[in-house]
């Protein structure tokens, strides 16, 4: 039987939070993810040298870690952590009460009794910070200053480091000396991160790869019109500039920075957001890159095929996905691999629900099933995902799960966990792609970054700034501040600003990301002594609907309250409660955690995931209302929760054609005929949790969830869209 070469690539990235040259940091996420995830992922890899991993390190993240390690990073939240609690002003106290609970409630706050006590005292659901500030004593505020950072340390550090272990044991009533000791330890940990990854590389157990310096979408810089190949009706910005040379600079500088930090040039590159096009391989090859990686959807679009999985997730077309390719796009000859999206998403979004041993066994069992299906042929299976965002949902920041997974990967015959370069040496590409379809790992297109009016406005302002900068550089190449101005342009080309524009991604930090983007553009003019255009003072981001994912395929769940398996709801739309408070803001004690919604040809399905102690925290009979506003006003009532069998009522009338069940989750099914909805009608709805007739929660908090009633051809239309 052949070998399965397993390549696990962790992508480490944060936006550039620095507000300009020598400027302060607007957000703390490099620092906090540094002491937890970036340190923890390297520590875990060090414990399992037999498992060879690939870490993709974005240069702008490394530059920010350098600033924190050297002590030169100025950051508002860090400054207010260090400030003596007795000296905090009333506005600073309110800042702490609003911003110092940004951690997962169940895995990062609740395990620490004092931090959880302070969260409950804050009463996010009912009180503004100004209303509760007087209830927080100086001792409370000092404990909050400590716990808001202490809870972010990688759990192994909290257990093994004597300074941190003593602080956890103390738990409350910290002193200013305690806080100073914690902050000194934080800087020590941040300074250790980059050397840890270099050590992994130098001993041969990890490959370190790179993305373009400030994480831009390379295909849009190279040729913005390429976005229309996946989205033919896409409206392009009215003003566009030639960013091709900038794309080259972003790749070249990334390689140079990588060499400076890690002693050699990278062999591989994960293009930002897995975004590729025929223009990308030549840029990569020119910079010495030998291989690229992207998503399975790009392979499908490039080959003109589809991928089909059975109920267990096993891929029918395994020969297409589980091999490396060569691409000659743009005249470059370069290797390219494609990630298995389902396996990647199991780690990123599913396994934290399951015991670590069970989840790890399930994952390795899927790999063995692939090996058996290959029937003696060698295969290359690539799993690629973010290396930081999933772990605050896992117990112990994923340490238990990853220990189990790495142990099984290293000890299972027939599975060889290798770096990507090692796997390509063992199994060189034999097939060549006929073309390289332009797209990303999000829907195999670039819609997130250019598909909305806000995106286009941002690109227009970016084009104007680049044209100004290019003209000034040509006319007066010795102008002071020119190099710094170009740096600000490169920062503004990053993908993260565009990610938050439009109505497909939203958070309470939209306005802050918008401000930072426009500030970087304004800095270009300021650095060259020019008046900043008035239009850069006008917000681009406008209030819009909350983040949710649209349904992508028919689903047919059992509707028994169990939640089923991953594939029961894999094609459903998804609303995640925590996104109402932004990617990093997950401290609010909500009852509704997630809403899955979807359909088959004839029925609408809904699944609500609640906190485990839902019924214990309510003070009366609980019901759920599905409140539809389009295509007609309609209330679907389900309840009483916890009292089976559940009754479903439409506008006050019993609806025996509808079904509902509650165990681990609440699942509901209603025929479209019963709802009175017809194919292609737009549907808008929100969910209300009621207790004894009183509204407990609304989800989304504002706005609605939305989809279009499907036709029988929905899946075919989705494939062709």
For residue 507, what pLDDT is reported? 64
Work out how many domains the chain is built from and give that number.
4
User: CA–CA separation, 380 vs 429, rounded Å?
Assistant: 10
User: CA–CA separation, 585 vs 102, rounded Å?
Assistant: 5
From 399, 432, 465, the end of a domain falls on 432
Per-residue pLDDT reduced to its tens digit, 470-512: 999 999 999 999 999 999 999 999 999 999 888 666 666 788 9
Whether residues 272 and 395 fall in one domain: yes
For residue 582, what pLDDT is reported? 38
Whether residues 147 and 252 fall in one domain: no
At a CB cut-off of 8 Å and minimum separation 6, what does 668 contact? 559, 605, 606, 607, 624, 626, 636, 638, 648, 658, 659, 660
Query: How many C-beta atoms lie closer than 10 Å to residue 313's C-beta?
Result: 18
Q: Which secondary structure element, helix H or strand E, spans residue 187, and what is its range?
A: helix 176-202
For residue 588, what pLDDT is reported? 40
Whether residues 224 and 369 fall in one domain: yes
At a CB cut-off of 8 Å and minimum separation 6, what does 646 contact? 638, 639, 640, 660, 661, 662, 666
SS (H, E, C) 315-330: ECCHHHHCCCEEECHH
Whether residues 246 and 376 fall in one domain: yes
Examine residue 602 and state whether it is found in any structural domain, yes or no.
Answer: yes
User: CA–CA separation, 520 vs 512, rounded Å?
Assistant: 12
Whether residues 672 and 524 fall in one domain: no
For the chain, give the number of residues: 721
Residue 309 structure tokens: 């999985």
Whether residues 212 and 153 fall in one domain: no
For residue 260, what pLDDT is reported? 98
User: CA–CA separation, 140 vs 172, rounded Å?
Assistant: 9
Whether residues 518 and 375 fall in one domain: no
Examine residue 418 and state whether it is found in any structural domain, yes or no.
Answer: yes
Q: The domain containing residue 94 runs over which residues?
A: 69-196
Examine residue 586 and state whether it is found in any structural domain, yes or no.
Answer: yes
Q: The domain spanning residue 323 has which CATH number?
A: 3.20.110.10
Measured CA to CA in angstroms, residue 422 lies from 2, 8, 168, 268, 694 at distances of 16, 12, 42, 11, 60
Cβ atoms of 359 and 351 within 8 Å: the answer is: yes
Examine residue 157 and state whether it is found in any structural domain, yes or no.
Answer: yes
User: CA–CA separation, 272 vs 308, rounded Å?
Assistant: 27
Examine residue 501 and state whether it is found in any structural domain, yes or no.
Answer: yes
- Cis ω for the linkage preceding 430 (within 30 of 0): no
Residues in the chain with pLDDT values less than 70: 503-508, 543-547, 579-589, 613-619, 702-703, 716-721
Residue 344 structure tokens: 């990647």
At a CB cut-off of 8 Å and minimum separation 6, what does 594 contact? 574, 575, 576, 577, 607, 608, 609
Whether residues 191 and 209 fall in one domain: no
Assign 503 to helix, strand or coil: coil
Closest by CA to 493, choosing from 212, 276, 226, is 212
User: CA–CA separation, 567 vs 229, rounded Å?
Assistant: 30
Whether residues 293 and 426 fall in one domain: yes
Residue 107 structure tokens: 């895995």
Examine residue 553 and state whether it is found in any structural domain, yes or no.
Answer: no
| pTM, 2 dp | 0.80
Whether residues 353 and 463 fall in one domain: no
Closest by CA to 284, choosing from 263, 255, 260, is 255
- Cis ω for the linkage preceding 631 (within 30 of 0): yes
User: CA–CA separation, 541 vs 545, rounded Å?
Assistant: 12
Whether residues 490 and 404 fall in one domain: no
User: CA–CA separation, 686 vs 671, rounded Å?
Assistant: 18
User: CA–CA separation, 343 vs 385, rounded Å?
Assistant: 10
Per-residue pLDDT reduced to its tens digit, 438-472: 999 988 999 999 998 999 999 999 999 999 999 99
Whether residues 626 and 660 fall in one domain: yes
User: CA–CA separation, 3 vs 417, rounded Å?
Assistant: 10
User: CA–CA separation, 312 vs 368, rounded Å?
Assistant: 13
Q: The domain spanning residue 678 has which CATH number?
A: 2.60.40.10
Examine residue 52 and state whether it is found in any structural domain, yes or no.
Answer: no
- Cis ω for the linkage preceding 645 (within 30 of 0): yes
Examine residue 54 and state whether it is found in any structural domain, yes or no.
Answer: no
For residue 422, what pLDDT is reported? 98
For residue 433, what pLDDT is reported? 95
User: CA–CA separation, 198 vs 408, rounded Å?
Assistant: 25
């Amino acid at each position: 039987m052949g070998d399965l070469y397993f390549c696990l690539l962790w992508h480490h990235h944060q936006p550039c939070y620095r507000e300009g040259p020598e400027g302060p940091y607007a957000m703390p996420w490099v620092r906090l993810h540094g002491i937890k995830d970036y340190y923890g992922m390297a520590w875990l890899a060090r414990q399992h040298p037999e498992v060879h991993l690939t870490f993709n390190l974005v240069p702008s993240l490394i530059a920010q870690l350098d600033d924190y390690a050297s002590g030169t990073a100025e950051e508002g939240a860090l400054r207010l952590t260090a400030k003596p609690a007795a000296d905090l002003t009333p506005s600073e106290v309110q800042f702490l009460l609003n911003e110092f609970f940004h951690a997962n409630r169940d895995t990062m706050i609740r395990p620490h009794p004092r931090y959880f006590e302070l969260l409950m005292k804050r009463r996010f659901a009912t009180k503004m910070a100004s209303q509760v500030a007087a209830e927080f004593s100086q001792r409370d505020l000092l404990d909050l200053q400590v716990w808001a950072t202490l809870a972010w340390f990688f759990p192994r550090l909290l257990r093994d480091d004597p300074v941190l272990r003593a602080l956890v044991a103390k738990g409350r009533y910290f002193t200013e000396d305690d806080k100073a000791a914690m902050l000194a330890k934080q800087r020590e940990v941040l300074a250790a991160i980059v050397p840890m990854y270099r050590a992994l590389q130098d001993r041969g157990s990890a490959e370190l790869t790179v993305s373009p310096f400030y994480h831009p979408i390379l295909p849009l810089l190279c040729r913005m019109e390429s976005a229309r190949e996946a989205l033919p009706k896409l409206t392009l910005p009215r003003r566009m500039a030639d960013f091709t040379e900038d794309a080259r600079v972003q790749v070249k500088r990334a390689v140079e920075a990588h060499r400076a930090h890690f002693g050699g040039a990278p062999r591989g590159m994960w293009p930002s957001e897995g975004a590729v096009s025929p223009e990308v391989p030549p840029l990569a090859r020119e910079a010495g890159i030998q291989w690229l990686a992207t998503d399975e959807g790009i392979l499908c679009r490039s080959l003109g095929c589809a991928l089909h999985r059975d109920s267990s997730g096993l891929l029918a077309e395994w020969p297409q996905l589980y091999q490396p390719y060569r691409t000659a796009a743009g005249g470059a000859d370069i290797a390219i691999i494609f990630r298995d999206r389902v396996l990647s998403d199991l780690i990123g979004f599913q396994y934290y629900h399951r015991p670590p041993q069970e989840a790890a066994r399930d994952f390795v069992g899927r790999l063995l099933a692939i090996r058996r299906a290959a029937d003696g042929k060698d295969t290359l299976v690539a799993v690629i995902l973010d290396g930081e965002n999933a772990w605050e949902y896992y117990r112990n920041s994923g340490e238990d799960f990853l220990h189990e997974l790495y142990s099984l990967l290293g000890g299972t015959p027939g599975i060889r966990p290798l770096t990507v370069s090692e796997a390509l040496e063992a199994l060189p590409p034999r097939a060549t792609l006929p073309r390289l379809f332009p797209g990303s790992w999000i829907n195999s297109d670039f819609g997130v970054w250019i598909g909305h009016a806000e995106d286009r406005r941002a690109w227009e302002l970016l084009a104007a700034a680049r044209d100004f900068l290019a003209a000034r550089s040509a006319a007066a190449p010795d102008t002071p501040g020119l190099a710094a101005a170009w740096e600000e342009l490169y920062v503004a080309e990053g993908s993260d600003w565009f990610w938050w524009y439009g109505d497909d991604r939203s958070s309470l930090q939209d306005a802050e990301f918008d401000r930072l983007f426009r500030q970087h553009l304004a800095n270009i003019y300021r650095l060259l002594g020019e008046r900043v255009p008035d239009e850069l003072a006008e917000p681009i981001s406008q209030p819009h609907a909350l983040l949710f994912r649209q349904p992508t395929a028919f689903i047919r769940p059992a509707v028994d309250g169990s939640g089923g398996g991953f594939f029961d709801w894999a094609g459903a739309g998804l609303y995640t409660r925590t996104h109402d408070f932004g990617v990093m803001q997950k401290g609010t004690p909500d009852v509704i955690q997630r809403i899955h919604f979807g359909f088959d040809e004839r029925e609408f399905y809904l699944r609500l995931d609640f906190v485990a102690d839902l019924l214990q925290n309510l003070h009366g009979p609980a019901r759920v209302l599905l409140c539809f506003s389009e295509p007609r006003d309609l209330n679907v009532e389900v309840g009483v929760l916890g009292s089976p069998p559940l009754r479903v009522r439409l506008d006050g009338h019993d609806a025996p054609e509808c079904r509902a069940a509650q165990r681990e989750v609440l699942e509901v099914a209603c025929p479209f005929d019963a709802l009175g909805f017809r194919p292609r009608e737009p549907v808008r709805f929100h969910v209300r949790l009621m207790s004894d007739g009183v509204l407990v929660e609304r989800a989304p908090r504002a706005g609605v969830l939305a989809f279009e009633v499907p036709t029988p051809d929905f899946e075919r239309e989705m494939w062709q869209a």
